[in-house]
Structure 1
Amino acid sequence: MSVYEVLVQPVVTEKSNAALGKNVYTFIVDRRATKVDVRNAVEKIYSVKVAKVNTQNVSGKKRHYGRITGQESDQKKAVVYLQAGQKIDALLG
């Protein structure tokens, strides 16, 4: 798996934006990716040093659209902690 296939998108929520000041970044990642894959992808793409990575499998929610019921896809989320003094400028703006 290529490093560019590992990271799907950054998570942009109030909680994840509040953590940016603490060198903590959250990404949606490929479901097959391991912590080592996520670490290597973030270090290569953003040229930073990663301190640790936590991953979490997130179940898809059930949604109702009128009388139609659907299910969102399951996802995998990774919380990446950077070493002191490191930051990802592309996600701060």
Structure 2
Amino acid sequence: MIKTTFDNDQSELPAGWTIKLGASPVVGTAIHSGTDVGSACRSLMSLTDPDRRREEDPFTERFIADFPTQIIVHRSRFQVDLNRAREAAVYL
């Protein structure tokens, strides 16, 4: 089963993340794979797109391609940084 989740506001962006449920207790995650940034967030950024992309980790979902169970985040780590507290997030 693959579940793709959208933002509550149905923004201009595609799904925020994809969850693929497989028959495995091991979960492969790609939490910094995404590069999507909403227009409201983008307007507050001082980074240019090329600078931002150099700091992102696109295509890391390829490392977990063979995991039966996956969580892949499609948002840029500059909009949602899931493994850091807000105070320690990248470029506040």
RCO higher in structure (CA 8 A, sep ≥6): 2
More helix by share: 1
More strand by share: 1
Q: Specify the structure having the higher radius of gyration (Cα).
A: 1
Normalising to structure 1: TM-score of the pair? Answer: 0.28
Normalising to structure 2: TM-score of the pair? Answer: 0.28
